[in-house]
Structure 1
């Protein structure tokens, strides 16, 4: 196999990542939901006041710990798709002008994520806010830019997923995965 089978799907907020992952899951692939959204939801439900908008480092530490634990469960040859990654934590910190602890970079680079990263650019027609996604559309665009710069600076190759119907986007992603090109 040409690359590691841990594919990241990332990009600006509200660009269709969850819908793509749900469709990949429906097609039988192992997919991991965005951990940051899970932590926000849990903190809202339990009254824990640690969120990216009021405590970026405390929140990121919680998310990083869960991501490290998730990675420990990965099967080394099983294709998996992730909604964001440890690299996203670094990008969000850069967006917020927060210093990035060096161990975040070490952890992100040690996982063995595929160097091909699927990037979903801002798509204003589908952008929405909710209880866990509070960014304005202008902030979402800046986040997308910070994420792209962060991934590229760490040696990842961004594959831009076009704005298209869901099945076309999923087919595009699968067509870019090395192990499916060999079939």
Structure 2
């Protein structure tokens, strides 16, 4: 299993800031698929924006996550992912429930694994803000966080909640734990 670590959790919980800090410390990082898709869609026809077509958005996030995994397969050191395949799969199952979709997504997630420990940014109302790429409110973000907290363990992942503390502290916390997976 490659040294792929996922940082997931609540939207607006500080994932991207943490990943930026880990990148500054020399770690390989992969930006969040959702934000890349939204930026591309906002520059184009907007056919797969999460607020107008969540199922199309989730399918694109799955495809982009698979490409990210493939592009990093040969990495010899730790790679941190800002969300990834599991988050996209969870979003798709939320927007397009059904047995066939669930079976396909679960098989895909079983085939493409990350390290067994996932770092979760909890809801943190004091730092939550909306922007051009994050239009949902904190309540929707918390609901998504709860879905992720239920979904990851079903796939055999163990969750570690990150402390609500500064970025440097969080990065130290992650670095201290990656040798313990």
- TM-score, normalised to structure 2, is 0.90
How far, CA to CA, are the matches of 2:11 and 2:68 in structure 1? 22
How far, CA to CA, are the matches of 1:36 and 1:110 in structure 2? 21
How far, CA to CA, are the matches of 2:109 and 2:102 in structure 1? 12
Q: Displacement of 1:97 after TM fit?
A: 6.4
Q: What is the aligned residue count?
A: 178
Deviating 4+ runs (over 3 angstroms): 93-101
Cα distance change of structure 1 residues 34 and 58 upon mapping to structure 2, 3 Å threshold: same
- Helix, strand or coil at the partner of 1:125: coil
Q: Displacement of 1:65 after TM fit?
A: 1.4
Contact 2:21 2:171 in 1 (8 A): yes
Gaps of 5+ in 1: none
Q: Displacement of 1:108 after TM fit?
A: 2.0
Root mean square deviation of aligned Cα:
1.9
Contact 1:33 1:83 in 2 (8 A): yes
- Is residue 2:19 matched to residue 1:21? yes
Q: Displacement of 1:91 after TM fit?
A: 2.2
- Helix, strand or coil at the partner of 1:174: helix
- Is residue 2:165 matched to residue 1:164? yes
| 1:25-56 per-position Cα deviation (integer Å, ceiling 9, x unaligned) | 00100000001111111101112322222222
How far, CA to CA, are the matches of 1:143 and 1:8 in structure 2? 16
- TM-score, normalised to structure 1, is 0.89
